Structure 1
Amino acid sequence: MNFLRGVMGGQQTSGAQQSGTQTIQKLCDRVASATLLDDRRDAVRALKSLSKKYCFEVATQAMDHLINVLQTDRSDSEIIGYALDTLYNIMSNEADETDENQQIASDDLGVQFSETFIKQQDNITLLLSLLEEFDFHVRWPGVKLLTTLLKHQSTQVQQIVLVSPMGVSRLMDLLDDSREVIRNDGLLLLQQLTKSNAAIQKIVAFENAFERLLDIITEEGNGDGGIVVEDCLLLLQNLLKYNNSNQNFFKEGSYIQRMKPWFEVGDDNSGWSAQKVTNLHLMLQLVRVLVSPVNPPGATSSCQKSMFQCGLLQQLCIILMATGVPADILTETINTVSEVIRGSQVNQDYFASVNAPSNPPRPAIVVLLMSMVNERQPFVLRCAVLYCFQCFLYKNQKGQGEIVATLLPSTIDANALSAGQLLCGGLFSTDSLSNWCAAVALAHALLDNATQKEQLLRVQLATSIGNPPVSLLQQCTNILSQGSKVQTRVGLLMLLCTWLTNCPIAVTHFLHNAANVPFLTAQISENLGEEEHLVQGMCALLLGICIYYNDNSLENNTKDKLKQLIEKRIGKENFTEKLGFITKHEFYSKAAQKPQPIFSSPDHMLFDHEFTKLVKELEVVITKAIYKSSEEDKKEEEVKKSLEQHDNIVSHYKKKKK
């Protein structure tokens, strides 16, 4: 083997390159023609030693020979191990990490070599069968090779594994390997295997994956465990995210109960390691996967129920109120609690009863709202608190009533800081982000709740000493007319639009102030810059609501008179064009996608998710209402009245029958 010396050491020159290519060719000839196993083994071992330095040459010349070795020399674990190591080296094709360009080129070559290898599906089947070998020198490189192939050609390899008899089962057996390095690399392999493939995810779940993974997490010390716990959690996330069948299987298997110990924290939470923070973050995300608003409502509701019954929600609320918890864990815990309580009356009621361990004790809701309207708090934390408040009020008329009650004169406790006081403070503070958050939070206390919309009309505010109090409704419009920041005005307009929608009494109160309609028409009709387009659109929406939900009780502001005003001062086409500015705004579609308020910066905080749904409903009906003639309006009113009379007769008849 003297000819190896020139290429195994020293700098790589063009001569060395040529010599290396020749050496590889000779070694390939020896692998192909040698009759003695020892000679073939030595040649494959030499190819392995050259495979990192001369990756391209070994891949192009030796791949077929190495595959042949795997097929014909299975009785010798040593040569099989060398062949698998060599194939792994050329597929992974690891370059110097400091050279980015070289790394990209290496990745491209790895993808090409992987593609060549899997062209023959039998090669993957062969590799799967080799993983049944218990010998460490065969199983470990086999695991690493298959993981690399999945990284480079995931869809194709997944399909081959899927149709291979017992293919997934063989890979699941890696989790039971007593040698930690194989078990841990087996976790990485299964992570790659289960990515974006629902069929494989289901098979893995039915191979008792949840039990096995939760056992490993427990053995490794839950949140205090190392990177193995992180890998288990990432695999669990792959199996459960967007997979309704697996989520149901996880719940039915009583695995939610096994998550509770993950969140048991002590009194002293200072000095968490980076790994513990990562693990807890993934654990919280896993809870959220099970109760995500995008899941089927029945499945989410069922998981929420289990989380309350097993004490998981209670445990999360302890973290919420604990001291010393790292900021990003606290933020993610708030987001998690939000989705565990969202739309679940029992969980929402429990959350309302949670008190912070202060003296005197304060409701958790109040403590959280204090953070939301505090401009010194981190932006992501304030967003999380707003989401938590929204989820607490989602489909929760009882909670909405409790929040509005803290603003009413008869229930205000002068000595206690209430949710209502904090929201009012935020609504009228000098911080535009607090204005927006408080306006949106208050709007959620009114959503689909006519009773609370009427109750809020009773709220009076003392503006300054010696002056009579003004209504909350009027104070909102006063601030609007003062021309504050766009974010503040958009927040207030969202609150007013939500408040007046489907509430004729609130519309009447709003129209009763003679300054409101002229202010709106002036805003809509002006030819303002692009940054004001959104405010103009919102003003058009508010004026449209005043027409659509108008009960004609104010002689000067009937539907007809407001429509005439639009035609005269603004023009119908101009009005509908301005109304369309809302849905055309760049941030509208993003807010419409999911309930959680996620913004890349405070400046982007303009739209609330529930408000986008409201706009979608109202834009069409308002446009129709603007173009309707007074005769059509009268006919519609008559039809409405006759339907109401009919309903009253039917309900009266039903009562008599009872």
Structure 2
Amino acid sequence: MEYFKSGLKSVLGAPPPGNQPSGADTVERLVDRLQSSSLLDDRRDACRALKALSRTYRLEVGTQAMDALRQVLEMDRTDCEIVGLAMDTLCNITSPETFEAEVENYGPKNKIGEQFTEIFIKQSDSTTQVLAFLEEFDFRVRWPALKLLTHLLGNRPKDIQEIILVSPLGVSKLMDLLSDSREVIRNDALLLLIQLTKGNANIQKIVAFENAFDRIFDVISQEGSADGGIVVQDCLLLMLNLLRGNISNQNFFKEGSYIQRLTPMFDLPPETDENPLSGWSPQKVCNMHCMVQVIRALVAPGGPAQATAACQRTMRACGLLQALCDILMASGVPADVLTETISAVAEVIRGNTSNQEFLASVMAPSSPPRPAIVVLLMSMVNEKQPFVLRCSVLYCFQCFLYKNEVGQTQLIQTLLPQGNEAASLTTGQLLCGGLFSLDPLSNWFSAVALSHALIDNSIQKEQLLRVLLATNIGKPPVTLMQQCVMLLQQGNKTQCKLGLLMLLCRWVSHCPPAVKAFLTIESSVAYLTALLSSQEDTDDLQETLLQSMCALLLGLCVHFNDDSVPNYTKEKLCHLIENRLGLERFQDAIGGITRHEIYSRTLKHPQPSTKDPSDLLLDHEFCRLLKILEGVVVKSVQDGSNPQEGKDPTSTLSPSDSALVSQYKELIREQDAQIHRLNQTNETLAKEKRDLETQVYELQTSISHLRDQNLVLRAAQINLTEAKELVPSVDTIDLTNVELEKYKNTVRDLENRLAECTLNLQKQERTECNSNNSEYEKLLKEKTLELEKMKKDQENLLELLTEQDSKLMQYKEKLVALGEKIESDESSGELDTDEQPESSN
């Protein structure tokens, strides 16, 4: 403290005895000294003193010294020491941290730093000036500039993102920091880029095309890969920001073979007595979480189907799916890592037949060996396992059955008699065991899992009707549907009942034999109507959902009824609903599900996601079924309740009117036949349309890549032209020519594909309506115009490079005339990259 006081005395002079200046007075005198001193040393001392005061008297320093500090950055930018001091002072002024001296006067959560940030960035060139200081290699300048940008970005993220986006080579300057040999700068640059890339797709694309993925993987490798420290986690968080929701970057990541570079990071070392896999450090767990999130960002269910399928194929081909399955089957893996890995496997196989078959073939290293799916289901129906783990297993099993008719068939087959084969634990047995368990959560999981084997598969719905269960010794077996109805009537847990009702609704939808089987079960309809008529309006969510599902099941039995049960024909069921419940109450009951937030939340994503087990009530696929069938079910019940329904309207007409009606009937039959033919034609055209849409998507992807390459080439050209007095780098021009040659080849391929697409469209013109043709022709014209524009850009770039080449020759001739030795292209291409000037980036 005495040293600090003596320093201030040397700068300000000794005050009169007994007259100590206040903080504001001291700051005012220092600012005056900073602005008026002609000697650099005096200004440097004043700046150093302001930095020392900026934490204790932040408000005073920020209010009085902001303009003076800006002036230092402009006028004294060649002196690294004073520039570093000025930026350190600005860092303290704009820091989002609340300093200890401010808590008493301004509270623990004041926004002083944010307010000063807003003042600082009002002058548009202030942030640009700080960006320019990043090019200075001196640690005293580069590190404070980086910290200042981090504070500005943390306080005003949207504003700083826009400023950096429009700043010339602004992102490039930040990316260069990742190559800094000083770890503190590299690590802080990572943190800055994580903040910068949040929620801004344009910045994400630019960062990705500035070789971000290569640099990130290099840092991860240097830091020890998955076993590394927190820097690895920061690298993965940046990678995740670049990929999540950004289709362009995902395509670039896939086509750049970066998925293959993820695979070694998931390899587990061989387990030995000296190296047990149970020794997972907390940091490695965090790293694994981030690595799995990167994979899931590439194969998220909400992404474009074609891009997701391409990533899934790559992950299978490069061994990444195998590595994930190895983690599932390994011992000693932490539960949270195992949970995330199961979810990742789920999304890698979802809808991909080859990957689903691969998972079905994976065997667990148990004695005796069991399929991995069986082992996973054993965890799902085990109430002692963590809830989130059980949810992830359900999600994985759902993804295994998604659009997988073979998997659905095999599951149902395990429930049917198997002959004299050796008894073994099967998926069907596990699900039945969970369905009849005393644990309501196991009931819900098993019912939902079994319902996914029936999605879009009427054959398996009828096969499931053949399943017989032996309940008690000496009594005849009962069908699975009878057992489900009995559990529904005798159960006292609402969650269990909701699971059974979702299974029954899925079972009877689009399957009249299942409707018949349900209606023939004694007291099935009576139970539903009694439950609906006795339930009064309630605010309890579970009771409301139970009432709604009962109404939906009754409605499905009406809509898909083939009148094969005399006591419960469509008409009799409709009258029963009208007399016992009333149409308005019935309609309101069915709509009760969709009015709740849990319905919309479940409909958004196929993965079950609740924190509390008691909140796990609805299934994603059931919500989709309800969304499709709600309207038609209500209409069927309304139409069936009409007393005139089913009567012959021609029975009371005169003979002449009857003949006229017969003519109209004949006309309607002819029109029905014509509509049928048109529907067939429409299906053919729809298939051709999907094929063309696929080609258009591929063309759009190619054009997007060409735009990105064009942007990179323009940036390279700008860097070349800026070096006016220097000899251009032969390596750079050669590299650019190679890139242009690749670019030209890509354009030629694009032209060929467009020509092929044009021929397909011309063929389709002979059979397709004019409106559809005009739509395709318009799309084709747009893509052709884009191609012509890119070809024009290519020609402009070639002209610029030709001019640059001529300048290069002139510079060489001048240097030869001056006696300088010019290296050949071959020798220049062998230079060590460490000796190349930084400006070549």
Letter of the 1:553 counterpart: S
Is the CA contact 1:491–1:606 (under 8 Å) kept in the aligned structure 2? yes
Distance in 2 between the 1:198 and 1:515 partners? 59
**1:185 paired to 2:188:** yes
Distance in 1 between the 2:494 and 2:669 partners? 39
Deviation at 1:464, TM superposition (A): 0.8
Is the CA contact 1:534–1:585 (under 8 Å) kept in the aligned structure 2? no
Work out which of the residue numbers 531, 535, 545 in structure 2 matches 1:523: 531
Is the CA contact 1:548–1:559 (under 8 Å) kept in the aligned structure 2? yes
Partner in structure 1 of residue 347 of structure 2: 339
Partner in structure 2 of residue 251 of structure 1: 254
Partner in structure 2 of residue 420 of structure 1: 428
Bigger drift between 548-557 and 368-377 goes to: 548-557
Deviation at 1:269, TM superposition (A): 1.2
Q: 1:294 to 1:649 in 2, by over 3 A?
A: closer
Deviation at 1:592, TM superposition (A): 1.1
**1:588 paired to 2:591:** no
Residues 367-378 of structure 1: pairs in structure 2 closer than 5 A: 367-378=375-386
Partner in structure 2 of residue 533 of structure 1: 544
Letter of the 2:315 counterpart: M
Query: Which digits, 9 at most, give the CA deviation of each residue in 1:405-453, with x for residues without a partner?
Result: 1111136956211100000000010000000000000000111111111
**1:575 paired to 2:578:** no
Distance in 1 between the 2:287 and 2:202 partners? 27
Partner in structure 2 of residue 509 of structure 1: 517
Q: 1:632 to 1:145 in 2, by over 3 A?
A: farther
Distance in 2 between the 1:393 and 1:104 partners? 56
Distance in 1 between the 2:470 and 2:315 partners? 44
Partner in structure 2 of residue 149 of structure 1: 152
Is the CA contact 2:8–2:49 (under 8 Å) kept in the aligned structure 1? no
Distance in 1 between the 2:438 and 2:251 partners? 48
Is the CA contact 1:374–1:434 (under 8 Å) kept in the aligned structure 2? yes
Query: Which digits, 9 at most, give the CA deviation of each residue in 1:598-622, with x for residues without a partner?
Result: 0110010000011111111111111
Work out which of the residue numbers 199, 203, 209 in structure 2 matches 1:200: 203
Query: Which digits, 9 at most, give the CA deviation of each residue in 1:228-283, with x for residues without a partner?
Result: 10110110111111101100100010100000011011222112111111001100
**1:79 paired to 2:82:** yes
Q: 1:158 to 1:586 in 2, by over 3 A?
A: closer
Letter of the 1:502 counterpart: H
Work out which of the residue numbers 288, 309, 313 in structure 2 matches 1:305: 313
Work out which of the residue numbers 37, 60, 63 in structure 2 matches 1:60: 63
Is the CA contact 2:364–2:372 (under 8 Å) kept in the aligned structure 1? yes
Q: 3-state DSSP class of the match of 2:594?
A: helix
Partner in structure 2 of residue 232 of structure 1: 235
Work out which of the residue numbers 441, 444, 448 in structure 1 matches 2:452: 444
Distance in 2 between the 1:333 and 1:644 partners? 53
Q: 1:591 to 1:541 in 2, by over 3 A?
A: same
Deviation at 1:8, TM superposition (A): 8.1
Q: 1:118 to 1:467 in 2, by over 3 A?
A: same
Q: 1:93 to 1:282 in 2, by over 3 A?
A: closer
Q: 1:229 to 1:502 in 2, by over 3 A?
A: same
Is the CA contact 2:590–2:630 (under 8 Å) kept in the aligned structure 1? yes
Distance in 1 between the 2:643 and 2:104 partners? 71
Q: 1:358 to 1:289 in 2, by over 3 A?
A: same
Query: Which digits, 9 at most, give the CA deviation of each residue in 1:474-499, with x for residues without a partner?
Result: 11011111142000000000000001
Partner in structure 2 of residue 27 of structure 1: 30
Distance in 2 between the 1:613 and 1:336 partners? 23
Deviation at 1:646, TM superposition (A): 9.2
Deviation at 1:198, TM superposition (A): 0.4
Is the CA contact 1:459–1:472 (under 8 Å) kept in the aligned structure 2? yes
TM-score of the two chains, using structure 2 as the length reference: 0.74
Structure 1: unaligned runs, 5 residues or longer: 10-14, 652-658
Q: 1:103 to 1:327 in 2, by over 3 A?
A: farther
Query: Which digits, 9 at most, give the CA deviation of each residue in 1:575-628, with x for residues without a partner?
Result: 111112211234222111111100110010000011111111111111111111
Is the CA contact 1:77–1:138 (under 8 Å) kept in the aligned structure 2? yes
Q: Report the count of equivalent residues.
A: 645
Distance in 2 between the 1:470 and 1:17 partners? 97
Letter of the 2:5 counterpart: R
Q: 1:377 to 1:509 in 2, by over 3 A?
A: same
Letter of the 1:244 counterpart: I
Partner in structure 2 of residue 12 of structure 1: none
**1:288 paired to 2:296:** yes
Work out which of the residue numbers 480, 488, 491 in structure 1 matches 2:488: 480
Kindly name which structure, 1 or 2, has the bigger radius of gyration based on alpha carbons: 2
Partner in structure 1 of residue 52 of structure 2: 49
Distance in 2 between the 1:634 and 1:262 partners? 72
Distance in 2 between the 1:569 and 1:626 partners? 13
Give every structure 1 segment of 4 or more consecutive aligned residues whose post-TM-superposition deviation is greater than 6 Å: 1-4, 6-9, 97-104, 638-651
Partner in structure 1 of residue 265 of structure 2: 262
Q: 3-state DSSP class of the match of 1:424?
A: helix
Q: 3-state DSSP class of the match of 2:77?
A: coil
Query: Which digits, 9 at most, give the CA deviation of each residue in 1:199-225, with x for residues without a partner?
Result: 000000010101110111112111111
Q: 3-state DSSP class of the match of 1:445?
A: helix
Query: Which digits, 9 at most, give the CA deviation of each residue in 1:94-151, with x for residues without a partner?
Result: 3358999999755511111111110011001101111110000000010011011011
Letter of the 1:517 counterpart: V
Is the CA contact 1:97–1:103 (under 8 Å) kept in the aligned structure 2? no
Distance in 2 between the 1:640 and 1:417 partners? 55
Q: 1:419 to 1:6 in 2, by over 3 A?
A: same
Partner in structure 2 of residue 215 of structure 1: 218
Q: Percent identity?
A: 58
Distance in 2 between the 1:6 and 1:405 partners? 90
Distance in 1 between the 2:226 and 2:35 partners? 52
Q: 3-state DSSP class of the match of 2:52?
A: helix
Partner in structure 2 of residue 158 of structure 1: 161
Deviation at 1:298, TM superposition (A): 1.1
Partner in structure 2 of residue 277 of structure 1: 285
Distance in 2 between the 1:425 and 1:552 partners? 34
Bigger drift between 276-285 and 585-594 goes to: 585-594
TM-score of the two chains, using structure 1 as the length reference: 0.93
Partner in structure 1 of residue 505 of structure 2: 497
Is the CA contact 2:414–2:428 (under 8 Å) kept in the aligned structure 1? yes
Q: 3-state DSSP class of the match of 1:295?
A: coil
Is the CA contact 1:94–1:103 (under 8 Å) kept in the aligned structure 2? no
Distance in 1 between the 2:352 and 2:433 partners? 29
Distance in 1 between the 2:570 and 2:103 partners? 67
Q: 1:644 to 1:330 in 2, by over 3 A?
A: farther
Query: Which digits, 9 at most, give the CA deviation of each residue in 1:16-73, with x for residues without a partner?
Result: 9962211111100001000000000000011111111111111111111001100110
Query: Which digits, 9 at most, give the CA deviation of each residue in 1:507-529, with x for residues without a partner?
Result: 01111123111111111111344
**1:623 paired to 2:626:** no
Letter of the 2:442 counterpart: S
Partner in structure 2 of residue 353 of structure 1: 361
Partner in structure 2 of residue 112 of structure 1: 115
Distance in 2 between the 1:36 and 1:413 partners? 98
- Which protein, 1 or 2, shows the higher relative CO under an 8 Å CA cutoff with sep ≥ 6? 1
Work out which of the residue numbers 235, 241, 251 in structure 1 matches 2:244: 241
Letter of the 1:5 counterpart: K
Distance in 2 between the 1:39 and 1:547 partners? 92
Distance in 2 between the 1:421 and 1:99 partners? 66
Is the CA contact 2:56–2:99 (under 8 Å) kept in the aligned structure 1? no
Q: 1:88 to 1:554 in 2, by over 3 A?
A: same
Q: 3-state DSSP class of the match of 1:417?
A: coil
Distance in 1 between the 2:20 and 2:291 partners? 51
Is the CA contact 2:55–2:99 (under 8 Å) kept in the aligned structure 1? no
Letter of the 1:368 counterpart: L
Q: 1:116 to 1:633 in 2, by over 3 A?
A: farther
Partner in structure 2 of residue 5 of structure 1: 5
Is the CA contact 1:80–1:138 (under 8 Å) kept in the aligned structure 2? yes
Q: 1:109 to 1:18 in 2, by over 3 A?
A: farther
Q: 1:298 to 1:580 in 2, by over 3 A?
A: same
